[in-house]
A and B are shown apart, each in its own frame.
Chain A
Amino acid sequence: MRLMRTPKKVDISITNRCNLRCRYCYHFESAGDVEGDLPAAEWFRFFEELNRCAVTEVTLAGGEPFIREDLKEIVHGIVRNRMRFQILSNGTLITDEMASFLASSGRCNYVQVSIDGSMPESHDVMRGKGSFAKALQGLMILRRHRVHVAVRVTIHRKNVNDLESVARLLLEDIGLSSFGTNSAGAMGMCRKNAEMVQLTTEERTLAMETLLTLSKKYNGRIQATAGPLAEARGWLDMEEARLWGKQLAPVRGCLSGCGCYWQDLAVRADGAVTPCTMLSHIELGRINRDDLVEIWQNHADLGSLRGRNRIPLSSFSFCEGCEYLQYCTGNCPGLSYTLVGEVNHPSPDACLRKFLAEGGRLPERSLLC
């Protein structure tokens, strides 16, 4: 793979504060959970560097970005520096005034709002009482102001049986064109609350089947890059490739599961530059102190991450004798680091052999749309 001269996108944790404490939050109690937000002036200086680097977009995440009192100034800084932006939010702090401001900026790609249930019970159980109503209200305010909204449904033990109603609410009643799903990964707070939050093998099987069925019913309007739906699609492809000796793209049989550090960088709320929000423990430098291009092109840790895709899965005892070896990518290095303490290792959470050995079942291939 060839390296671009500068990153295309930078994911910025603009604040470490949040008005909620979701039971599966990947941010709190992870390496990204750092004290103290940087003042806006620091971000303005950094945005100027991003402009010089021709970075075209930033993602504002947190914590909860809308908790920052100076969010509008920060958005002005992004606009001044010729970039577009998206905001990842829990949706509960969005006001009419803010939505109108975002629309008028002309640069907002979307605001991602988390809606995890079709009713308060299945959402609030993880995110806190009253958060469903507020998130839904935030979503409707954004839509009223014609700000593009991307809804994300995080699947967990308490909403896995509510998915059909969630799809009906979002796609039929509210009329979204699509929504995305993932599942509570074994990071941050989720590790502490794993018992309550993380799907069992049986529930994961159910979630895969339900989501494929719903995705077919709604003509592909349910999307995923991680979680049960993405796994169902990926694992069915692996199984088919194994049965029929097919080739899969991109490179398989090596740790090729993630390529975000070929395109993007991340910055923690304290200004530390990291390869990705899932790899917040790897500090590559500091904004406004270290040169971003130098980090991007020459930092040894980034170089070694980019070399992961040359490490064969056959070199891990974990994968010994696996029938899927030449069809597997080893998946997310961030999850692998959290689970086994190593970035250069396949992620056990995304291991098809382990899932099947624990009694998991793949859905029917005919459910794919």
Chain B
Amino acid sequence: MKQKNPIANPLIVLREEFDDWAILFDPDTGNAFGLNPTGVFIWKHLDGKHDTDAIVGRLREEADDVPADAAEHARQFIASLEQQGLVGYEVQT
């Protein structure tokens, strides 16, 4: 069984309110989670076509001063989204 790229749960609402900050809203629970601009960038690339390295690669193309350990942070961030049911993976069997 091979895990594929992360995919944002399509039920979750990305609400961009001011500047590049946003909240993720889960209509089933009513819970909301704040996202900083990097989080928003990552969320928008959770489309099943990018793995974490590819997302961080895109981030480096678009933003200056991306820290060296960004890939690790991105992995942790995606893992925390997964824990909260906001992100899933397509599974190939």
In the complex the two chains form, what is the Cα distance from A54 to B40 in whole Å?
A: 14
Chain B interface bracket (under 10, 10 to 19, 20 to 34, 35 or more): 10 to 19
Residues of chain A from 54 to 95 with CB closer than 8 A to chain B in the complex: 54, 56, 79, 82-84
Chain A 32-54, CB-CB to B under 8 Å as 1, else 0, gives 00000000000000000001001
Asked if A245 lies at the interface with its beta carbon under 8 angstroms from chain B, I say no
Cβ-defined partner of A82 (8 Å) among B11, B16, B18: B11
Is B25 engaged at the interface, CB distance under 8 Å to the other chain? yes
Residue-by-residue, is B45-85 near A (CB-CB < 8 Å gives 1, otherwise 0)?
A: 00000000000000000000000000000000000000000
Give the docked Cα–Cα distance between A83 and B30 (Å): 9
CB within 8 A of A56: which of B11, B15, B16, B18? B15
Q: State A106–B11 Cα separation when bound (angstroms).
A: 13
B15 x A83 contact (CB < 8 A): no
In the complex, A4→B27 CA distance in Å? 19
Q: Is A5 an interface residue (CB 8 A)?
A: yes
CB distance from A5 to the nearest CB of B (A): 6
User: Closest CB of chain A to B12's CB: distance in Å?
Assistant: 8
A54 touches B27 (CB 8 A): no
Is A5 a contact partner of B17 (Cβ separation < 8 A)? yes
Residues of chain B lying within 8 A (CB to CB) of residue A5:
16-18
CB of A288 closer than 8 Å to a CB of B: no
Contacting residue for B28 out of A2, A4, A106, A109, CB 8 A: A106
CA gap between A18 and B74 in the complex, in Å: 53
Interface string of B26-52 (1 = CB under 8 A from A): 011010100000000000000000000
Q: How far is the CA of A69 from the CA of B15 in the complex (A)?
A: 32
A145 at the interface (CB under 8 A from B): no
Interchain Cβ contacts within 8 Å, total number: 32
Q: Which residues of A contact B15 (CB under 8 A)?
A: 6, 8, 54, 56
Per-residue interface assignment for chain A, residues 81 to 119, with 1 indicating a CB less than 8 Å from any chain B CB and 0 otherwise: 011100000000000000000000011010000000000
The distance from the CB of B66 to the nearest CB of chain A, in whole angstroms, is 26
CA A160 – CA B79 in complex, angstroms? 56
Q: A261-288: which have CB < 8 Å to B?
A: none
Most buried by B among A5, A79, A83: A5
Given contacts A2-B18, A4-B18, A56-B25, contact A84 B30 (CB under 8 A): yes
- Whether the pair A56, B17 counts as a contact (CB closer than 8 A) is no
A2-B18, A4-B18 known; A54-B13 Cβ under 8 A: yes
A107 touches B27 (CB 8 A): yes
> How big is the A interface, by class?
10 to 19
* A107 close to B28 (CB less than 8 A): yes
Complex contacts, B18 vs chain A, CB 8 Å: 2, 4-5
Indicate which residue in B11, B16, B28, B30 contacts A54 across the interface (CB closer than 8 Å).
B16
- Inter-chain contacts of B17 with A (CB < 8 A): 4-5
Give chain A residues whose Cβ lies under 8 Å from the Cβ of B25: 54, 56, 82
> Which of A2, A8, A54, A83 makes the CB contact (< 8 A) with B14?
A54
What distance in Å separates the Cβ of B34 from its nearest Cβ neighbour in chain A? 14
- Assess the B16–A83 pair: CB atoms within 8 A: no
Q: Within the complex, what minimum Cβ distance (angstroms) separates A94 from chain B?
A: 22
A108 to B39, CA, bound (A): 29
Cβ distance B28 to chain A, nearest Cβ, rounded Å: 6
Quote the shortest CB–CB distance from A344 to chain B (angstroms).
27
How far, in angstroms, from A82 to B32 measured CA to CA in the complex?
13
Which A residues have a C-beta under 8 Å from some C-beta of B? Answer: 2, 4-6, 8, 51, 54, 56, 79, 82-84, 106-107, 109
| Chain A to chain B: the 6 pairs with minimum beta-carbon distance, closest first | A54-B15, A4-B17, A56-B25, A82-B27, A54-B13, A82-B13
B residues touching A (Cβ–Cβ < 8 Å)?
11-18, 25, 27-28, 30, 32
- Given A6-B15, A54-B14, 12 further pairs, Cβ under 8 A: A2-B18, A4-B18, A54-B13, A54-B15, A56-B13, A56-B32, A79-B27, A82-B13, A83-B27, A84-B27, A106-B28, A107-B27
* 5 A/B residue pairs, CB under 8 Å, sorted by A: A4-B18, A8-B15, A54-B14, A54-B25, A56-B27
